[in-house]
Amino acid sequence: MDVSAAVLGLESSCDETAAAVLRADGTILAEAVLSQLEEHAAFGGVVPEIAARAHLEHLPRLAARVVAEAGLGFGDLAGIAATSGPGLIGGLIVGASLGKGLAIAHGLPFVAVNHLEAHALTATLPGLVEGGARFPYLLLLLSGGHCQCVAVEGVGRYRRLGTTLDDAVGEAFDKSAKLLGLPWPGGPALERLAALGDPARHKLPRPLFGRAGCDFSFSGLKTAVAHAVAKHPPGALPAQDRADLAAGFQASVAAVLADRGRHALDMLPGATALVVAGGVAANAAIRAALGRVAAERGLPLVAPPIRLCTDNAVMVAWAGIERLRRGLTDPLGHAPRPRWPLDQLSG
């Protein structure tokens, strides 16, 4: 694949509508992300029907915009990559259908991108690490829907080493934030509040800490926050109590993730890097904890820029490029999949 070739990426798996154009050398020619936070905030979470309608309304315009900003026409592209799972099926259908339509109209190859693979391969973007991260590396995929330790052995080659037994880490952040009376999305709000608190005041549990393997469990931690809140009289918690609980919760999560990361590195002794990706990877305390783990092992911690931690089309376009350069394309009959485990890509 020529390094000057460009690929359009489309992302519509949840509540971010996004499009981006990347060159095969990793240069970002144009990108756009439209957040739907205001549309969903009143409901305290993502409403699938509202999300799908927003994607349908805005994604075609965003796609045309980024292609024009890149100084190209659709016919100049080398391919179209669209998230086709996992995620909310309505949004996946919108994005995949638009991608297939553009591929048909302009005679271009189509790549059905696994959203989790897009997160996993962000580490190989040139510029994030000089020359891109080398395989194999350990991925901690941390988001509202996923919490996994994955051995990334190559494009399309993934081994899940551990996963959550109940709540994903981002889900635990959101639920605990709601218990503390914080607005949705809860993760960023809880992190801001935690900066004002004392993490040592509340002795919250650290589920599975020190246990063999690298599975996760956050339900008990969330329940402990609920019990701590219930000890107070009904009504709004005093400000310092809220901040201290937020700090204690975040400290417990960071400690558990660091511990699970150590165990996962023991299971992948040839790892060249510790990579963290997904929306929760934007949390500074978690980055710092994982950075210490990486330093202990003499490895780099690779974390995307904050804007590329949450759902975005840059990672989708890059995953498309990595697949296209290996001759991996998908038929136009490929059906979007609301569930699509990352290790099912491995052949």
Binding residue numbers: 115, 119, 141-145, 174, 187, 191, 283, 311
Q: What is the residue type of 204?
A: L
Spatial separation of the C-alpha atoms in residues 183 and 177, rounded to whole Å: 7
State the binding site for Fe cation.
115, 119, 311
Spatial separation of the C-alpha atoms in residues 166 and 145, rounded to whole Å: 11
Using CB atoms within 10 Å of the CB of residue 158, give its burial: 0 to 12 exposed, 13 to 18 middle, 19+ buried.
buried
Spatial separation of the C-alpha atoms in residues 166 and 147, rounded to whole Å: 10
How does 41-72 read in b/e, with b if 16+ C-beta sit within 10 Å?
eeeeebbeeebbbbbbebbbebbeebbeebeb
Tokens of 101: 């339509």
* Chain Cα centroid distance, residue 278: 2
How does 116-152 read in b/e, with b if 16+ C-beta sit within 10 Å?
bbbbbbbbbbeebbeebbebbbbbbbbbbbbbbbbbb
Q: Which of 250, 245, 243, 242 is nearest to 196 (CA)?
A: 243
Spatial separation of the C-alpha atoms in residues 97 and 233, rounded to whole Å: 52
State the binding site for substrate.
141-145, 174, 187, 191, 283
